[in-house]
Structure 1
Amino acid sequence: MLWACVLLPQLALDGVMRRRENPEEPLALISGTAQRRVLQTVNPAARAIGLRAGQSLTAAHAMTREFATVEYDPDETERWHRLLAAWAYRFSSHVSLKYPRVLLMEVESSFGLFGPWPVFEARLRQELTELGFTHRIVAAPNPLAARMLANAHDGLAVTDGDTLHEVLAQMPVNRIGLPTEVATALARMGLHRVRQVEALPRDTLARRFPAAVLQHLDTLFGRRPMGLECYVPPDRFDTRIELNFDVESHQALLFPLKRMIADLAVFLAGRDSGVQRFVIHLEHVPSVGSVAPDTQIPVGLLSAEREANMLFELARGRLEQVEVPSPVRALRLQAKDLPAFVPTHRELFDDRPQQTMPWEQLRERLRARLGDEAVAGLGFNADHRPEHASLSASPNKPLALTHKVPRPGWLLPEPELLTEPGLRVLAGPERIESGWWDGGDVRRDYYLVETRNGQRGWAYRSVGDSNLLLHGWFA
């Protein structure tokens, strides 16, 4: 087996930065007590103006106030960790969150799908970079070795036991996960490298140190198996963004909404599912003496989808139809209906023009822009009378016309008297006699006609009547 360790050294900072519109703005995460606020971590722009992790907020403000601060939130960091686990689950069914800011993945069984390790690794790095997370990646024959090697390496791939032994032998004792007191005691004995510790007799180590030390070394070198609890993706998606300022316009909500939907798409791809319904909550600023209820914007689809751009377009269409009653303090997105995703059937050689889109995407965009009731499908009814031959149906699929004779795409609500001079008859008559059983008996002769402007229509004369009535237009 081959295990990959994805180390996320600044997970909390990356999680905050990817939700900010200006990544070049100096930013620091702060923590500590009210009496002593400390910079937990800083971004490169803040580092460039002299700020550093561990510095007190008072000292930082004495230098400059040209930086933003965000409260360090361990729970939010854990949510980012689990989102990336959902992303990694797309590539491997064995993903572990045993260590903080680390993803452990068994990758050898996935080579058949994603190619050999160099290709696989390049894809992981590309997607993590696109998601906005700094990372280091190491591969090794067992998960503990991969984790400890990531402390000192990036891009290292060890595929066999002999090479693993050589690489681990060069590691500093204080970088292989031993308790601090054990690493300190070994250093005092003059043992600074793992090879020096490995050269000692096992019974000597067993007498001087707890049994867990030998067990840790055996696991590190692959002589003892390591049990891991594997990640299982949840059955729902729930994320929230607290905005930096009160928002009163739709436009200012689009950037955080797009990022939330991108995270939803990552989650869906990881668990190989789609979304058929999700709800956007607009959390409002509480008014004096009362708490304003959330504005809920449901987004429903007729079939499961997971493409980020499409979901964002649908959500934006719904959002723009809502009047924001009061300033928005936070956004929340919840998705509970996550059915299996079935990709749209495509031909190997798709001859659609590049700017067109599949029917499913067009249908959902129209519903988002015009409303659910404004878009309907067309179904056939077993009746020869044109006004009864079609009916409103579900818009799940585009209509496939089965008539052998031409029928107009636009049928008028009521037939209109056609008096235009210069009318040409192109085809007809076609006799339609029907409706005797329900009192709506008709006897008509239909003609395909063309006006002087080139418009083609469908007109009829009732039997025994000389008036020509227009019943519909052809596209």
Structure 2
Amino acid sequence: MWACILLPQLAMDGVLRTRADRASPLVLLSGTAQRRMLQAVNPAARALGLKPGQPLAAALALTRAFSTAEYDVAAIEHWQQLLAAWAYGYSSQVSLHYPRCLLLEVHSSFSLFGPWPRFEARLRAELDELGFRHRLCLAPYPAAARVLVNVHDGLAVTDTPRLHQVLGQLPIERIGLPREAATAFARMGIRTLKQALSLPRASLARRFASDVLIQLDTLQGHRPLPLEFYRPPDVFDTRIELNFEVESHQALLFPLRRLTADLAAFLAGRDSGVQRFRLYLEHRTLPDSEVPVGLLSAERESAMLFELTRGRLEHLQLPAPVLAVRLVARDLPAFTPVHQPLFDERPQQNVPWEQLRERLRARLGDEAVVSLSARADHRPECAWQESSLARTEPWPHAGLRPGWLLSAPQPLREEGLLILAGPERIESGWWDGADARRDYYRVQTATGQQGWAFRALPGGPLLLHGWFA
């Protein structure tokens, strides 16, 4: 089963998704400097009487209440590649065989994403979130799915007899034939595909070129469609050109949110995470400002990536107005989701430790957040040290230790004291002048508290060194 996603306004959507105000009139221009033409218009511009193919001079004679942008063919290719990377997360067979279309083999994914109605709803929701208008159809053959999406939206044909019935009703000019062939059929009085297929094949072979018969056979599934399948790249590199010079961090948040959302979709498609990436702010005359972002572990959740990048960006003093924003990610390790309990018992306002840790590092700096690590010393007060959060050395096995170690030992009254375990002798520190010779005990006070106490050798009072939870 093949799903075809048609992106009828890909160039326009690519421009609109970089703008905070999507409802204002916008036209895309093409052509030479002497004769500028309207290549695409959004609904707001169409409501003003503007339409594709109209000269810019005629559009300006009607109204000036619209903004313009260039119709960029390279940008269309970029958006197609981004959407193919997103679709790769749902199918291993994704093709860009047709322009402004995605072909996905989806039958093998039903067991993972559910039946087609649920699968379709998920695809549409994510495309809407990414900011791309679309049409979507399902058919047993990729060429048939492409033809159906020209006429229908949401049609799902799952068996061959039903497919032939639906295809037979299609207008002959909408099935992807060359224009000359479609015109020739119309002059013969052939209006639908069913009428064309009812003609003798030998007669069709004499009247039309071989590619017409190949197209008809491919639509019916009699001939396979050769497809080249997409493979995601190993580097994410996306740039958003701003439509005005930006001088504040606040105005950069919208393109930043879009970039991190695109990065998250790219990572989900190739089933990987990101651990290091760079944000480049382009200026008119000065070199690009760089904002490096490093994480302690691979992540790919868009909200988290945006929050971390925003925290790093706020520490940067902009040397000049920003003209474009570019995000480059090369370190894309495998992503391992964190195992979570079935029922989340955390309060609603709390966040997981991993997100809190990265948010603190982004806001306060890498060196401001540290962890505790073990140190090769038997003396409890010397057996720990501050270290980087990236270090993950396990604590050495040294017996039961209290969770709360006092900064200085305190005298402990021995009346009513119950010794639960011990003694554990510790003799160490002779090399640095702080020799410690102690016998440690796990004790319980009369009130039920459990502590860790020692008696210095050769003898002395019992001193409390820590409390057990």
Q: What TM-score results when the alignment is normalised by the length of structure 2?
A: 0.88
Give the superposition deviation at 1:58: 1.4
Match of 1:280 in 2: 279
Tell me the distance in 1 between the aligned counterparts of 2:312 and 2:396. 32
Tell me whether 1:54 sits opposite 2:48 in the alignment: no
Match of 1:377 in 2: 371
Match of 1:201 in 2: 200
Give CA-to-partner distance per residue, 1:258-284, whole Å, 9 cap, x none. 110000000000111100110000111
Task: Give the share of equivalent positions with the same residue, in percent.
Answer: 64
Match of 1:261 in 2: 260
The residue correspondences of 1:133-282 to structure 2 (distance < 5 A) are 133-282=132-281
User: Any conservation in 2 of the 1:310–1:361 contact (CA below 8 Å)?
Assistant: yes
Give CA-to-partner distance per residue, 1:339-363, whole Å, 9 cap, x none. 1100012122332222222222222
The residue correspondences of 1:350-361 to structure 2 (distance < 5 A) are 350-361=344-355
Q: Which moved more, 1:361-370 or 1:150-159?
A: 361-370
Tell me whether 1:331 sits opposite 2:325 in the alignment: yes
The residue correspondences of 1:83-94 to structure 2 (distance < 5 A) are 83-94=82-93
Give the superposition deviation at 1:434: 2.8
User: Any conservation in 1 of the 2:374–2:395 contact (CA below 8 Å)?
Assistant: no
User: Any conservation in 1 of the 2:260–2:302 contact (CA below 8 Å)?
Assistant: yes
Which AA in structure 2 matches 1:300?
A: G
Give the superposition deviation at 1:253: 1.0
Match of 1:4 in 2: 3
Q: What TM-score results when the alignment is normalised by the length of structure 1?
A: 0.87
Tell me the distance in 1 between the aligned counterparts of 2:452 and 2:365. 31
Structure 2 gap segments, 5+ residues each: 443-450
Partner-residue secondary structure (3-state), 1:151: helix
Taking a change above 3 Å as real, the CA distance of residues 443 and 157 of structure 1, as seen in their structure-2 partners, is same
The counterpart of 1:316, out of the listed 281, 305, 310, is 310
Structure 1 gap segments, 5+ residues each: 287-291, 449-456
Partner-residue secondary structure (3-state), 2:15: helix
User: Any conservation in 2 of the 1:410–1:474 contact (CA below 8 Å)?
Assistant: no
Tell me the distance in 2 between the aligned counterparts of 1:57 and 1:459. 87
Give the superposition deviation at 1:387: 3.9
The counterpart of 1:299, out of the listed 293, 297, 301, is 293
User: Any conservation in 2 of the 1:260–1:333 contact (CA below 8 Å)?
Assistant: yes
Which AA in structure 1 matches 2:327?
A: L
Give the superposition deviation at 1:131: 1.5
Partner-residue secondary structure (3-state), 1:128: helix
Taking a change above 3 Å as real, the CA distance of residues 434 and 113 of structure 1, as seen in their structure-2 partners, is same
Tell me the distance in 1 between the aligned counterparts of 2:151 and 2:426. 85
**Residues paired across the two proteins, number:** 453
Partner-residue secondary structure (3-state), 1:316: helix
Q: Which moved more, 1:401-410 or 1:382-391?
A: 401-410
Taking a change above 3 Å as real, the CA distance of residues 345 and 436 of structure 1, as seen in their structure-2 partners, is same
Partner-residue secondary structure (3-state), 2:328: strand
Give the superposition deviation at 1:406: 2.9
User: Any conservation in 2 of the 1:433–1:444 contact (CA below 8 Å)?
Assistant: yes
Q: Which moved more, 1:239-248 or 1:48-57?
A: 48-57
Partner-residue secondary structure (3-state), 2:120: helix
Aligned-residue CA RMSD (Å): 3.1
The counterpart of 1:390, out of the listed 372, 384, 390, is 384
Taking a change above 3 Å as real, the CA distance of residues 178 and 393 of structure 1, as seen in their structure-2 partners, is same
The residue correspondences of 1:23-34 to structure 2 (distance < 5 A) are 23-34=22-33
Tell me the distance in 2 between the aligned counterparts of 1:165 and 1:279. 52
Give the superposition deviation at 1:74: 0.8
Give CA-to-partner distance per residue, 1:391-418, whole Å, 9 cap, x none. 233424699898734354685xxx79x9
Give the superposition deviation at 1:162: 1.0
